[in-house]
């Protein structure tokens, strides 16, 4: 950057693909998850995000569903698959025409709606562990 040339290292590579999806069906599922779990909603003022946090034992994964404070038109779903050390990231908006492949996202959202999660603990700083 700024005229300096650096050889990329393994740490410089982010192995996460972000999927941008527009889907009314998936958006309705996210709104249902959001409404049903509103009591667990966390605020992160530093990042200006509202966050729902879930953890699952089988398969072991951690899920964050979040949106920017004051916005209701876009959600972000981040899943960390613990055993593989991999992430799936989706940015979801609502729209009349579906864009992106929403089938995997709908499958994941269905699982969140139907499987019981483990309630995450909160440390003294009000940050989810």
Q: What pLDDT is recorded for position 97?
A: 86
* Cβ pair 28, 109 in contact under 8 A: no
**CA 86 → CA 9, 13, 68, 78, distances in Å?**
18, 13, 24, 10
Q: What pLDDT is recorded for position 7?
A: 58
Which region among 27-31, 74-78, 112-116 has the lowest average model confidence (pLDDT)?
A: 112-116
Helix (H, G, I), strand (E, B) or coil at 29: helix
d(CA 46, CA 55): 23
Q: Of residues 29 and 126, which shows the higher confidence score?
A: 29
Give mean pLDDT, residues 71-84.
94
Which region among 13-17, 24-28, 105-109, 117-121 has the lowest average model confidence (pLDDT)?
A: 117-121
Give mean pLDDT, residues 72-89.
93
**How would residue 37 be classed by pLDDT, with cut points 50, 70 and 90?**
very high
From the list 51, 54, 26, the residue with the least C-alpha distance to 115 is 54
Q: What pLDDT is recorded for position 85?
A: 87
């Amino acid at each position: 950057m700024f005229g300096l040339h650096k050889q990329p290292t393994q740490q410089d590579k982010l192995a996460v693909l972000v999927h941008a999806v527009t889907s009314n069906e998936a958006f309705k599922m996210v709104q249902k998850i959001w409404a049903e779990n509103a009591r667990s909603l966390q605020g992160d003022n530093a990042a200006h995000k509202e966050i729902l946090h879930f953890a699952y034992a089988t398969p072991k994964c951690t899920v964050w569903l979040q949106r920017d404070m004051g916005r209701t038109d876009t959600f972000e779903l981040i899943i960390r698959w613990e055993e593989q050390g991999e992430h799936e990231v989706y940015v979801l908006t609502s729209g009349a025409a579906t864009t992106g492949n929403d089938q995997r996202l709908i499958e994941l959202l269905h699982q969140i709606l139907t499987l019981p999660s483990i309630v995450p603990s909160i440390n003294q700083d009000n940050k989810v562990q």
